[in-house]
């Protein structure tokens, strides 16, 4: 598996879009760990993108989604 440097690889706009799509997917499966991760992120950062994932451009969910198929929306993966 290739490693990604999120700051260099994932554009911030795309990372935020993927984040929103992942959160939408997780609403259907609210009982999973990934849904809990998204809930915690949104709750404690109050939706401020600068604070999400410690200010990094994408969390592990966003980076994994991007690594599967760079540049396409999560729904197409």
Examine residue 5 and state whether it is found in any structural domain, yes or no. Answer: no
Give, in degrees to the nearest 5, the angle at Cα 43 between 28 and 11.
Answer: 80
In Å, what is the CA distance from 22 to each residue of 47, 61, 74?
14, 8, 7
Range(s) of the domain holding residue 51: 10-70
Examine residue 65 and state whether it is found in any structural domain, yes or no. Answer: yes
Examine residue 1 and state whether it is found in any structural domain, yes or no. Answer: no
Regarding predicted confidence, which is higher, 47 or 57?
Answer: 47
Query: 68 falls in which pLDDT band (50, 70, 90)?
Result: confident
Query: The pTM is what?
Result: 0.70
Number of folded domains that form the chain: 1
């Amino acid at each position: 598996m290739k490693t990604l440097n999120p700051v260099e690889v994932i554009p911030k706009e795309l990372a935020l879009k993927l984040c929103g799509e992942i959160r939408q997917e997780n609403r259907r499966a609210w009982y999973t760990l990934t849904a809990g991760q998204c809930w915690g992120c949104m709750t404690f950062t109050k939706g401020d993108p600068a604070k999400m994932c410690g200010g990094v451009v994408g969390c592990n969910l966003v980076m994994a989604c991007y690594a599967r198929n760079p540049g396409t929306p999560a729904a197409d993966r």
